[in-house]
Amino acid sequence: MKKLTMLLMLICALHVHMCHALAADRSSGPPVTISGKITDRDGAPVIGAAIRVKGTTAGTSTNTSGNFTLTAVPENAVLIISSMGYNSMEIILKRTDKGYTASTAKATDAEHLQVTAGDAPHLTIRLSSSVQELGERVVIAYGTVRKRDLTGAVVSIREADITATPVNNAMEALQGKVAGMDITRPSGAAGTNVNILLRGSRSIYGDNSPLFIVDGIQSSYDQINPSDIASIDILKDASSTAIYGSAGSNGVVIITTKKGKAGKSTVNLDVFYGLSGSPHFFHGMTGDEYTNYRRELYRTVNGEYPQDMSQIFTTEPVFDAYNKGKWIDWVGLITDNTATQQKYHLSLADGSGKTKVYTSFTYTKEEGLLSNENLNRYALRMNLDRDIASWMKVGANINVNYSIQNARGKNIFTKSLSALPLGDPYDAQGNINPVFVEGESTPLGDQIPMQYADNTRSTYAFMTGYLDVKPHKDLTYRSVIGVTLNNSRNGKYWGKQAVSNVVNGYAYPLAGIYNAFSYGYTWENIVTYNKTITTDHQLTLTGITSWAKNSADYNNALGQGQELDYYQFYNLANGTQKQGIASSYEQKQRMSFAGRINYSFRGKYLLTLTNRWDGVSHLAKGHKWSTFPAGVVAWRLSDEGFMQGAKGWMDELKLRAGYGVTGNSGGMSAYSSQTQAAMFQAISLDGKLVPNVQYAGTYSNPLISWERSYNTNIGIDLSLLKRRITLAGEVYNTDTKGLLFKRTLPVTAGLTTWASPLQMWQNIGQTNNKGFELSLNTRNIVKPAFEWSTNFSFTSNREKIVYLPDGDVILENLFQGQPISAHYNYKYQGIWSTAEATTAALYGAKPGFVKVATVEKFDANGVGDKGVHPYSQNDRMILGSSVPKWLLGVNNNVTFRNFDLNIFTMVRWGQMLNSSLLGWYTTNEDGQPAGINYWTPENQPARYPRPGINSTLGIESLRYVDGSFIKIKTITAGYTFPSRLTKYAHISKGRIYASAYNPLVYTKNRDLKGTDPETGGSDTFPLFATYVFGMNITF
């Protein structure tokens, strides 16, 4: 009976449920299409925000303008709006007589939603920042602060700006986007890291690189995948960096990686593939151009043109190659390989209950322009956060990378440029001819199988663990431990036919193994007390302890004379002619204590005071510790009563002024403060080998201490027209004193090595660094379907050496009153013409020789020669500097419906290059750069001297040219698929894009046309254009 009753009740329940369902179906309207825009509190678009229909998998995400469209939304649906760094919002769709409208599930969210009702409602949603995430908070040293309460010179870069450029190097993505940060790529070789300077160079021999902090612990950026980064914050002034003490003297870059978010699960796939264009490099002369050059060379030497080319190509094989037109473009041959870039990144972010996790796997591959030049990298990351209790949280971040890199010799391009362009580079079977014509060895020797190897295998692991405790609502404690492990093995082999330079003191064939193992530990403890007093006073106190230990083991072995190429570098014992073994070990430790006070009165008057005490092991006893104080004040004028009349158009106006002291002990090895010695075997008078101790390298200095920088910074922050225009300006001055200077001791000191005098680290000298920075962001057009914004970053930096103890150091290009990177050589004035023969003779020159400026000489009576004398080394002078007068980055973003376009332009202006390529012309080499305008009696004036002249003095002056350039660095066009397409594949967002990288370069100096001055004039490896195609998919 009970079973029958239960059955009847179940049937009745099902009947009632079906009736309700049928009634609901009869009253339900058709699905609706909803569009809208999501912004932050200041009206800036929130990119990548997720819009999901609650209880279903249907959803979409915002494009780069914050716009979205979601189709087939059922009546009475609930939309969940979420984005990292912002509070989530639920919106309920309703049907009325006037069409569809919407409201927020929480009354407190109502002010953040505006609805245009109708059959296709449009929503304007303003998300508020989440106090648990970054949102409107900026990451600073050992904490975060509301952006409006920021007092230092800090620039924040968010995820969308980092991933907008499809590169495998996170800092390369910031190029030109941060005022004061100078980022260049010195080479086009696969796996090349960028050079980074923040507000110029301060130290001559010390380290000028900024400090990198990853998830709270000092680390490096080059092992981090850009797709794993949530934000990058750059601290530029001493008031921001002094709390890092000695480590922060050159600025600080704080990298925060992604984390999982509670209640949200996303899978992201990021893939791109790139192909290279033509390299920016000179090619060698061939054909008629080379023939005419050799005829002119012969004419210069012999006084007349040759009767035929057999007088020039005097060997039968070379002359035969000439007659058969066997011209060789060596640079074209070595760059015949198509360079490619690939990236495959898969990540999962999830959060359920008290646990949040973010994990990713990335595979990147770079194939260089040269054969057997490549980099393969595998990266695995996991970030885990766990709430143990309402007052306690723990977490761990793990990043493991494994890479395999095959590199090529640095001189391969110049070897190819100078090679004779006649002969047979390949045999009938397509193999490289070791001797392409009689008497000439191929510059392609490294590409012959088994003739050259430069293979590096590296394993890198970076692990951090943290504990957060909040015993009181105003008090927090955080303890972070970081461990870094880095192991690499580099194997090299130079066969008999290799062309890359071998190690000094050895000859071909040669094999070598280089092993390096480094490990570091960091433990930091941060206590923060935050108290609001009577609503007007906000006080934050921070106390920090930090300990770090870094150790490194190095060893290598070399073997010369290996006869069997297939051993490569795996059997060094076969190098029976000469062998070498070396090893070393070093260890450094640092202990630090720091404190900070942040005070705000009514949000208008802001004060920050910091101090740090640092002690390091590698400075002299009694000088290991130092203190680094800093202070900054800020005044938010826009909150003052007398500024109320400007509220309609001015959002914020804030003035900042700060002063701070930072230190530098980088550049020194662990034992540079001590006298270094080595044991050698020496021959005694009776012919026996006996040990001998010899000083080597450096001599001790018991007074060596910190290099200290004194920095002043004045800044302004301005926001207008509801953040349509935002501006940040900085003026700064830095005096660095007690420079860590590696001074060569005079021979009279009686302390010399076998090769050269000893050197000693001393605190001597002074430099000055000052400049101006401007960041300007404008939202030029803001329409529902179209938006155009522009970001400008301008930098002008001046650096100079104020004082050197012994005056100018010419051998190292160090001059008082000049930048650290000054150029000192002959100053090019042209080529002597035929009409100037008499005048040229006064300088020891002839028509067709290089004309250079001279320095006036004075005799014993003080009578000058007005600079008229035969050229000599004393006529060299300061020519300029590689430091540009100003830098400019212009970033334009345009979106139209689902299409987006980004064009980034960078400018380096007012720099002088020491261009190795332009200086490669030597007037008498077998090969010469194509397109050279050289002097002949019939071609006057000309840029380059006459072929075949017997004078080389002054030719190096050709190298120094104005290196100003404008480059379109990237052009990226993308398309975001509408939700009506992605929903069928259960995809919340899908985007495809195409990008051109380094497509166009304009050089002010015409002689640099065809090259890329971003390399700084280097001839080792050119940059090249790359064309990338990719897609981003989020599930």
Distance of CA 269 to the CA centre of its chain: 24
pTM for the full predicted model: 0.81
Fold exhibited by the domain 31-126:
Immunoglobulin-like (2.60.40)
Coil, strand or helix: which one is 572?
A: helix
Distance, in Å, from the CA atom of 170 to the CA atom of 5, rounded to the nearest integer, reads: 69
**Looking at residue 622, what is its pLDDT?**
86
pLDDT value at 225 more than 70: yes
CA distance 107 to 69: 25
| Among the listed residues 650, 794, 640, 632, the one whose alpha carbon sits nearest the alpha carbon of residue 714 | 632
Task: Dump pLDDT digits (tens) for 658-671.
Answer: 999 988 887 777 77
The span from the CA of 330 to the CA of 284, in Å, is 7
Whether residue 969 contacts residue 998, with contact meaning beta carbons closer than 8 Å, is answered with yes
How are beta strands 537-560 and 510-533 bridged, if at all? antiparallel
Q: How far is CA 442 from the centre of its chain?
A: 36
| Whether pLDDT at 29 is above 60 | no
627 burial (CB, 10 Å; 0-12 / 13-18 / 19+) is: middle
CATH of region 137-267, choose from 1.10.287.110, 1.10.3720.10, 3.40.50.2000, 2.170.130.10: 2.170.130.10
Percentage of residues in the chain having pLDDT higher than 90: 48
Q: Which amino acid is at 963?
A: G
As a whole number of angstroms, the distance between CA 130 and CA 135 comes to 6
Q: Between 1011 and 546, whose confidence is greater?
A: 546
What are the residues facing 253 on neighbouring strands?
212, 234
- Residue with the bigger pLDDT between 988 and 796: it is 796
* Helix ranges, 324-396 (H): 330-334
- Count of positions (residues) in the chain: 1035
Percent of the chain scoring above 70 in pLDDT: 91
Instruction: Point out which residues pair with 816 in neighbouring strands.
Output: 801
Give the whole-angstrom CA distance, residue 857 versus residue 852. Answer: 15
* Euclidean distance between CA atoms 822 and 804, whole angstroms: 15
As a whole number, mean pLDDT of residues 482-506 equals: 92
Helix (H, G, I), strand (E, B) or coil at 643: helix
- pLDDT at site 694: 54
- Do 313 and 319 meet the contact criterion of CB atoms below 8 Å apart? yes
Q: Could you give the C-alpha distances from 100 to 23, 33, 74, 89, 96, in angstroms and in order?
A: 20, 10, 11, 19, 6
pLDDT band at 950 (very low <50, low <70, confident <90, very high): confident
State the Cα–Cα distance between residues 920 and 362, nearest whole angstrom: 41
pLDDT in tens, 854-888: 999 998 898 999 999 999 999 999 999 999 999 99
Q: How many CB atoms lie within 10 A of CB 1030?
A: 19
Token code pair at residue 524: 């930091």
- Asked if residue 509 has a cis previous peptide bond (ω within 30° of 0), the answer is yes
- Of residues 308 and 920, more confidence is placed in 308
Of 336-340, 370-374, 443-447, 889-893, the one with minimum mean pLDDT is 336-340
Q: How far apart are CA 768 and CA 770, in angstroms?
A: 7
Give the model's confidence band at 301: pLDDT under 50 very low, under 70 low, under 90 confident, else very high. very high
pLDDT score of 4: 37
pLDDT at 135: 38
Which strand (E) or helix (H) includes residue 830?
Answer: strand 828-831
- Asked whether the beta carbons of 136 and 41 are under 8 A apart, the reply is yes
191 CB-near residues (< 8 Å, 6+ apart): 366, 375, 403, 405, 407
- What is the band of 692 on the pLDDT scale with cuts at 50, 70, 90? low
Question: Taking 80 as the threshold, does the pLDDT of residue 1027 lie above it?
Answer: yes
For residue 162, pLDDT over 90 is answered with no
Domain map of the chain by residue range? 1-28, 31-126, 137-267, 451-618
Model confidence over 763-817: pLDDT tens digits? 888 999 999 999 999 999 988 889 999 999 999 999 999 998 888 888 888 999 9
Q: SS3 letters for 200-224?
A: CCCCCCCCCCCEEEECCEECCCCCC
CA–CA separation, 495 vs 378, rounded Å? 31
Say what the pLDDT of residue 927 is.
Answer: 78
pLDDT digits (tens, 9 = 90+) for 598-639: 999 988 999 999 999 999 988 888 888 999 999 999 999 988
Q: Who contacts 667 (Cβ-Cβ below 8 Å, separation ≥6)?
A: 203, 205, 206, 207, 740
Q: Distance between CA atoms of 345 and 364, rounded to whole angstroms?
A: 8
DSSP state of 454: E
d(CA 287, CA 41): 66
pLDDT at position 294 is: 93
Q: pLDDT tens across 72-111, in order? A: 888 788 888 888 667 788 888 887 777 778 888 776 676 6
Alpha helices for 569-651 (secondary structure H): none
Q: Measure Cα distances from 965 to 290, 913, 1010, 1016 in Å.
A: 30, 11, 12, 11
Over range 834-843, report the average pLDDT. Answer: 96
Average pLDDT score, the chain: 86
CA dihedral 79, 81, 82, 87 (to 10 degrees): -120
Q: What pLDDT score was predicted for residue 683?
A: 46
Highest mean pLDDT among 512-526, 568-582, 643-657: 512-526
Check residues 154 and 362 and name the one with the higher pLDDT: 362
409 confidence band (pLDDT: 50, 70, 90): confident
Per-residue pLDDT tens over the stretch 243-274: 887 778 888 999 999 998 877 788 999 999 99
Two tokens at 516?
């390096």
- 964 and 910 Cβ atoms separated by less than 8 Å: yes
